[in-house]
Amino acid sequence: MRLGKRGRFAKVSLFEQIRIEMLKVIPLGGLGEIGCNMMAIQDDNYILVVDAGIMFPDDYMPGVDLVIPDFQYLRENRDRVKAIILTHGHEDHIGAMPFLLKEICVPVFGTSFTLELLKEKLKEHHLPKPPDLLKVRPGDATQLGPFKVEYIGVNHSIVDGVGLAIETDEGTIIHSGDFKIDSTPVDSQFTDLGRFAHFGEKGVLALFSDSTNAEKEGFTLSEREVSRTLEDLFRACQGRLILASFASNMTRIQQVVNLAVQFGRKVVFNGKSMLTNINIAKQEGFINIPEDVEISESQINQFPDRHITVITTGSQGEPMSALTRMAQGHHKRITIKPADTVILSSRFIPGNEKAITSTINNLYRLGAEVVYEKVSEIHTSGHAKREELKLMLNLVKPRFFIPIHGEYRHLVKHAQLALETGMDKDRVIVAEDGKIISFENQELRMKGDVHTGRIFVDGKGVGDVEEMVLRDRRRLSGHGMVVVLLVLGEDTAERVYGPEIISRGFVFEDETGSILEDAKCIVLEVLDELDPSSPIEWTGVEMDIRRRLKRFFQSVIERRPLIIPVIIPV
């Protein structure tokens, strides 16, 4: 059977039923986690990939720069992967693209701002061949193999975002992208509710919808409200006004530029990513900055402080960001003054709280007034809250609903919300990465899973950092390192030199004497127990030293340093 207009069923031939049984949707990242968003939509021999994003490392991943989804399923089916669609330009949706395109180079579809951000990102990587980047606009439709994809404009915290209506032989799938419903946007970028409703009237097989704010009641604060708060801050500020924001949030940046013009201030853009994104936004027509308003860093001292507005990076307390360097007194040209007002116009991303509060404290020490989300409404989320999510569900009226983009609790809360709108519990599915969501004859079945996971990017290394390496790094950071150096006779194990014990980040001395000397005695005991008449297994000796010292340190001072025996046979 096939879902007809307004959800009614129509008969299809046996041939069609067999042919359309292959429609599968496979989340490869972003379900059960924040970030790494990636999804494969597969019909027989055609795979369409939606997004390929990164996740920023957690505290338990020392030394890791980025986390990307595991591409194993796409790698194993590379001949079937025919196209990639990007919903918008945030890192958690496009950040993994350079790594994916190195392995699977297929056409990439996205809006102009999204693809320009991707182009800039690809400059840092050396791809075997340049990808085919194809620009689309909201309202456009593209035929990709068995799929007809329409791009639906959505409002988000970055311009030029889209949701997707993917028409398949089995029915229409709606992918919301990241969205919110702002009835009074300052940039005229509305979420096209009419188009979502249009597909709802035709009949939607399944809705895959953003769950990031599924725990939060009400409606998302409008950008226009944020603009009013910013206007009050401009009016009250007697010195320089320094605003830190995400470099991709052109809507917020345009608001600040407009207020600077209104209050007779010059604007200085600061930070590498900020300058890059501003140039792209100018080029694509997403920001308007009067020529006589923008000045360079070197011109700041040519104007009174009350006539200066600085728009910079560093709202998350990133160690090398411009605002962090200002707060630490290390910025080349901008020194924080007591009359300055610093605005952190973004939310505290979980995991960044310590870095952000450290930056705020340093700014206060320098005499600045600091405004941030906990004390003023100077930021609004780009993700729909519960009332907006309900509205989307009621407009689209899907036969099946699968929440996406969020940790497991977000998915569950979004699923519960769907039940509140009247959906049958058998048609609301909470899935996780790797689960195969199969649509057969208008019914949904969970049919096994595929391999998924996270790949750590450490410098130029991709995937060469495994859990064991991370565990060693965590032990080094928390307990230090002990190196045991020995030079022994190759045949007799006669001691030529050592044991010498070298430590870093580890305290050996206590009130009763030297733990160092006791540790040496333990190593000597291991050597005394060796049988010189038998062949010596050096690996076994190292393991014995490691095991005994580990037990010794744990019992004496309750620490577990990383123990590295180094035995040199001569």
The pLDDT averaged over each successive group of 10 residues in the chain (570 residues) is 38 41 89 94 94 77 72 95 97 95 95 96 87 96 97 96 97 97 89 98 97 96 91 94 94 95 96 94 94 93 95 87 92 92 85 85 95 83 96 98 96 97 96 95 92 75 52 60 82 78 64 67 82 75 85 77 81
Euclidean distance between CA atoms 532 and 491, whole angstroms: 7
Ordered domains of the chain (ranges, CATH): 2-218+381-462 (3.60.15.10), 223-371 (3.40.50.10710), 467-569 (3.10.20.580)
HSE-CB of 531 using CA atoms within 13 angstroms: 5
Distances (CA, A) of 493 to 216, 423, 487, 489, 517: 67, 75, 9, 5, 21
**Max CA pair span of the chain:** 90
Quote the pLDDT of residue 470.
53
Euclidean distance between CA atoms 327 and 335, whole angstroms: 8
Quote the pLDDT of residue 520.
83
For 482, phi and psi rounded to 5 degrees? -125, 125
Quote the pLDDT of residue 213.
95
Quote the pLDDT of residue 9.
37
Quote the pLDDT of residue 6.
34
Query: Three-state SS for 492?
Result: coil
For 312, phi and psi rounded to 5 degrees? -140, 175
Quote the pLDDT of residue 317.
82
Q: Is 501:510 a contact under the CB 8 Å cutoff?
A: no
Query: Three-state SS for 543?
Result: helix
Quote the pLDDT of residue 16.
42
15: left (phi over 0), alpha (psi -120 to 50) or beta: alpha
Quote the pLDDT of residue 508.
52
Picking from 242, 256, 260, 235, the residue whose alpha carbon sits closest to that of residue 338 is: 242
Tokens 């009641």 appear where? 217
Q: Is 208:176 a contact under the CB 8 Å cutoff?
A: yes
